[in-house]
Structures are given as structure tokens and as C-alpha cells.
Amino acid sequence: MRLALAIPFLALAACTPPAATEPGFKLLDKDAYSSFVANWEPEDAPLCAAFGSKADWDKVMHPAPTMGGNQVFAPADTTWEKHAVLVLSRIVGDLDAKTFVVSDVKRSGDAIDVTYAFTPPAEGSAQFKDFFLLEVPGPLPSNINFTENGKLVCTTAPGASTPALPPPS
């Protein structure tokens, strides 16, 4: 009887695409890190980057220390052993709105495709850098594509950011 129940399950599992084509991903809490995205130009374009190491992270994400408490500025060193982190950032006028909604992340061939919705918040009296962080299984492929509201808006590669400026001196 147990074998009879297991056969349909095994047949279904054989038809499921391999895990390598549909990687699991985890949306990270950006507020868990006391860091901000470096400046980039042009500011009306999104910044996208792929971090395969802490050194990659440090090129684009800068610490924002405040007084008191233990602060975390980047994912744990062990994260980089089996995972990578992707970021997409935009300049917005309000940080209280739900600006980004990631809907899909797919790995196919030598690319990861991130699909998300972007809803620009109402203009405010100031401008802020809003962003999302995705943890994905490593190693990173050579192309990472970000599609916003159905349109490809940013392509990057591991260790690169598009378009990023050098860190402040």
C-alpha cells in the first residue's frame, strides 16, 4: 500500500523542474542593516547591483552608524559562503509607501531575472533612497536582470553596480 501511494508522488517529482532553474530566494529586511546605498548617476535611473561577497557589498552599501546598541552593517560573513545578495534602489519622495513588490525571481541558463512592481510614492519635501535586497543561492551567474512593471530597467553582473559612483572619500 505504501508503495502504491509513493509511485504517484515520485512521478510528479520527476516532472518538476530542477531546483537550479527556480532558485529559492529570500527578501531581506533592509532595516536589519545600518547601511545606505551609495550615490549614483543619473538619479532618475535605478541602481542595481549583485553582491557575491562582503567586498562587493562594501562597494555600494555604506555603513550608517548611530549611537548606542549593536549594529549590523551587512549580512553575516557565513551568508557569502552559499548565497549572494541582489539590490535595486530608486530615489523616491516618501519612504512610508510600499514602493517595491517583488513578484518573481528565476534562474535560467547564465542569468537571474528579477521581476517586480514599482509604485512611485507621492512626492515629498525631500528625496530618499528606497531599495530592496534579495538573498539568492550562489554562485551568481554572469547576468542579473531587473524587470520593473514589465520593462527591463537594469542589468548588472556580479561585483558590478549599474550605475554607481565611487564611494565618498
- What DSSP element (H or E) covers 118? strand 111-118
- What DSSP element (H or E) covers 12? helix 2-15
pLDDT tens track for 112-125: 999 999 998 888 77
pLDDT tens track for 59-86: 999 988 777 777 888 899 999 999 999 9
Interatomic CA distance for residues 52 and 138, integer angstroms: 7
Predicted pLDDT of residue 16: 34
The arithmetic mean of pLDDT across residues 123-142, rounded, is 90
Cα angle vertex 11, ends 10, 17, to 5°?
A: 95
Task: Tell me the β-bridge partners of 88.
Answer: 48, 132
The arithmetic mean of pLDDT across residues 138-165, rounded, is 86
The residue extents of the domains of the chain are 26-162
pLDDT of 93 higher than 50:
yes
Taking residue 26's Cβ as centre, other Cβ atoms within 10 Å add up to 13
pLDDT tens track for 23-68: 578 999 998 888 999 999 888 899 999 999 999 999 999 988 777 7
